[in-house]
Amino acid sequence: MKKIYLYGNWKMNMLPEEGEEFCRSLADRISGRLYGSDLVDICLFPPFLAIPAVLKALPAGPVSAGAQDGYFEDRGAFTGAVSMTMVRSVGCSHVLVGHSERRHIFGETDEVVAMKLKKALNSGLKTVLCFGETLEEREGGKTIQVVQDQLLSAFQSVPEVRARDLVLAYEPVWAIGTGKNASPDDAQEVCAFAAKLALEAFGSGSLIPVLYGGSVKDSNAAELLSRQDIYGALVGGASLKVDSFLAIYENYRKAFTG
Ligand code: PEP
């Protein structure tokens, strides 16, 4: 059984007090052997304004918090932006970069994603680089090409010494928040391809985990997470409730331990 990365992206949900309540309830649920830090790595990605409350209430153990985005400049006239330095300074250990909602709703290009990635890693943040194809690209047989283009363009900006802080998250755009998930075989194929590209780019010294995201829930978790090259899940909707979030990891474990 491998160690599982269980990452929850709350998107634009949760007020500070709701985040705090989530953490209290998470703390009640995760005490005990099942949640050893050698078994699971949990990270919550609240909206910016809820981060301080979540950090304060975060249970001890294998749980950390990160931001959903960060800008590539440190400070200056960038209205509405929050820098990676700021994210780090409030106590976040992680950040998401290139989430499909940032790419498709806010128009972030591969170039912007690459600049954010470089800044995030240089700021000492564990950085989750999201990538994935649209439905049109998948139906046009372009998935592997699109994924390769996204990853290689981003990898160029990764400082070699920081590669060990990189986490990849394969999130097919058509599977995010839609209730449709990639089949375990399709998800495994793309995650294996991403792992191979990362190995070629950074060598075997930096073991870069690849997660799957896109409508992951308790009922499909075990099948997805037990695939060889899928090391965890980036979870949106199902991460908003402690029970549905933890059930993802627990169902995977049950599949092994009965
Ligand atoms: C996500 O936000 O990264 C995501 C995968 O969302 P959902 O699980 O709701 O599809």
- Which residue's alpha carbon is at the smallest distance from atom 7 of ligand 1? 236
Res 164: pLDDT: 94
pLDDT digits (tens, 9 = 90+) for 22-52: 999 999 999 876 888 889 999 999 999 999 9
Cβ count within 10 A of residue 98: 25
Ligand 1 center to residue 101 CA distance, Å? 10
Ligand 1 center to residue 203 CA distance, Å? 30
Q: Going by C-beta distance under 8 Å and a sequence separation of 6 or more, which residues neighbour residue 245?
A: 6, 8, 235, 238, 239
Res 243: pLDDT: 96
Tell me how far CA of residue 11 lies from CA of 39, 46, 53, 204, 214, in angstroms: 26, 7, 16, 33, 13
Cβ of 229 below 6 Å from ligand 1: no
Res 60: pLDDT: 81
Res 24: pLDDT: 94
Any catalytic annotation for residue 104? no
Cβ of 216 below 6 Å from ligand 1: yes
| Closest ligand 1 atom, residue 11 Cα | 2
With a cut of 50, which residues of the chain have pLDDT below it? Answer: none
User: Global pTM?
Assistant: 0.96
CA 7 to chain CA centroid, Å, is: 5
Any catalytic annotation for residue 99? yes
**What CA dihedral angle connects 120, 69, 82 and 40, to 10 degrees?**
-70
Distance CA 104, CA 187 (A): 21
In one-letter notation, the amino acid at residue 243 is D
